[in-house]
Structure 1
Amino acid sequence: MSALRPTIGYIGAPSGDRLVGALTALVIWLSGGRPLRLRELPERGDSRLDGLILLGGLDIHPSRYRAEIEVESRFDPIRDELELAWLGVAFAREVPVMGICRGLQMLNVKAGGDLHQRLDSEITASWPNGPVGYMLFRKPVDVQPDSFLASVFGAGELKVNSLHRRAVRTVAPGFEATVCGRDGGVQAIEACEGVLRFGVQFHPELLVHRADMRRLFARFVGACRTRLATQN
Structure 2
Amino acid sequence: MSRPLIGVTTSRRSGWRIFPLVALNVWLAGGRATRWVAGRDADIDRVDGIIIGGGDDISPDLYGGRLVTSARLDPDRDALERRLVCAAFEHDKPVLGICRGSQMLNVALGGTLHQDAYGVYTASKRVWTILPRKTVKICAETRLAGVSGLKPMQINALHSQAVDTLGAGLQVAARDLGGMVQAVERIADPFALGVQWHPEHLFYARRQRAIFRALVTAARARHEHRGQIEDVRREVEMVTE
Assess, with a 3 A threshold, how the Cα gap between structure 1 residues 103 and 47 changes in structure 2: closer, same or farther: same
Deviation per residue, 1:15-37 (Å, 9 max, x gap): 22433210111221222112111
Structure-1 residue corresponding to 2:135: 140
Q: TM-score, with normalisation over the residues of structure 2?
A: 0.86
The Cα shift of 1:123 comes to: 4.8
Counterpart amino acid of residue 18 in structure 2: V
Is the Cα–Cα contact under 8 Å of residues 188 and 199 in structure 1 kept in the other structure? yes
Q: Distance in 1 between matches of 2:151 and 2:223?
A: 32
Structure-2 residue corresponding to 1:127: 127
Q: Distance in 2 between matches of 1:188 and 1:106?
A: 12
The Cα shift of 1:184 comes to: 0.8
Note the residue ranges of structure 1 that are not aligned, 5 or more in a row. Answer: 129-133
| Secondary structure, counterpart of 1:165 in structure 2 | coil
Q: Distance in 2 between matches of 1:168 and 1:149?
A: 17
Structure-2 residue corresponding to 1:97: 95
Structure-to-structure mapping, 1:107-186, within 5 angstroms = 107-121=105-119, 122-123=122-123, 126-128=126-128, 134-186=129-181
1:194 aligns with 2:192: no
Q: TM-score, with normalisation over the residues of structure 1?
A: 0.89
Structure-to-structure mapping, 1:9-88, within 5 angstroms = 9-39=7-37, 40-42=40-42, 46-88=44-86
Q: Distance in 1 between matches of 2:131 and 2:65?
A: 34
1:204 aligns with 2:199: yes
Counterpart amino acid of residue 32 in structure 1: G
Q: Which moved more, 1:34-43 or 1:70-79?
A: 34-43
Q: Distance in 1 between matches of 2:217 and 2:125?
A: 39
Q: Distance in 2 between matches of 1:194 and 1:180?
A: 23
Counterpart amino acid of residue 218 in structure 1: R
| Secondary structure, counterpart of 2:106 in structure 1 | helix
Counterpart amino acid of residue 55 in structure 2: G
Q: Aligned Cα RMSD in Å? A: 1.8
Q: Distance in 2 between matches of 1:35 and 1:120?
A: 33
Note the residue ranges of structure 2 that are not aligned, 5 or more in a row. Answer: 227-241
Q: Distance in 2 between matches of 1:52 and 1:72?
A: 29
Q: Give the number of equivalent residue pairs.
A: 222
Q: Distance in 1 between matches of 2:104 and 2:52?
A: 8
The Cα shift of 1:61 comes to: 0.5
Q: Distance in 1 between matches of 2:34 and 2:112?
A: 28
The Cα shift of 1:192 comes to: 1.2
Q: Which moved more, 1:86-95 or 1:12-21?
A: 12-21
Structure-2 residue corresponding to 1:213: 208
Q: Distance in 1 between matches of 2:17 and 2:123?
A: 28
Q: Distance in 1 between matches of 2:179 and 2:124?
A: 14
Deviation per residue, 1:89-143 (Å, 9 max, x gap): 2011010000000000000000010000112354577524xxxxx1335111100
Assess, with a 3 A threshold, how the Cα gap between structure 1 residues 47 and 126 changes in structure 2: closer, same or farther: closer
Moved beyond 3 Å, runs of 4+: 120-126
The Cα shift of 1:48 comes to: 0.9
% identical equivalent positions = 37
Counterpart amino acid of residue 127 in structure 2: W
